Amino acid sequence: MIIAAMTFRLHAPWAHSLKEKRMTVKSLVAKLQNRFHVSAAEIDEQDTHQIIVIGVAAIVGNNAMGDRVMDEISAFVEENTEAEILDEQREFR
């Protein structure tokens, strides 16, 4: 069993309140969970208005499958949010 984990750091310049940020986070996390059947949550910077840090984890059979899933998730995040991706980290555990 291999765990594929990703962390996205996003910048949302339009978010001027935590309420605006949370709406964006909640929507993106729900879409990720529904589309890819992964665990996803905001994992850092909860009190910063314009920075969003989302962690995603999935159980995969092998590294090749994990790479494919992470590529699909990365493309999905880029297409489904107006926030700019500042950083993306990937790892297998």
Q: Please return the burial class of 84, using the count of CB atoms within 10 Å of its CB with bins 0-12, 13-18 and 19+.
A: exposed
29-54 confidence digits (pLDDT tens): 999 999 999 999 999 998 888 999 99
Say if residue 22 is exposed, middle or buried (CB neighbours under 10 Å; 0-12, 13-18, 19+): middle
DSSP for the chain reads: -EEEEEEEEEE-TT--SHHHHHHHHHHHHHHHHHHH--EEEEEE-TT-SSEEEEEEEEEESSHHHHHHHHHHHHHHHHHS-SSEEEEEEEEE-
User: How much is the average pLDDT of 76-92?
Assistant: 94
Q: Is this prediction's pTM over 0.95?
A: no
Domains of the chain are 2-92 (3.30.70.1120)
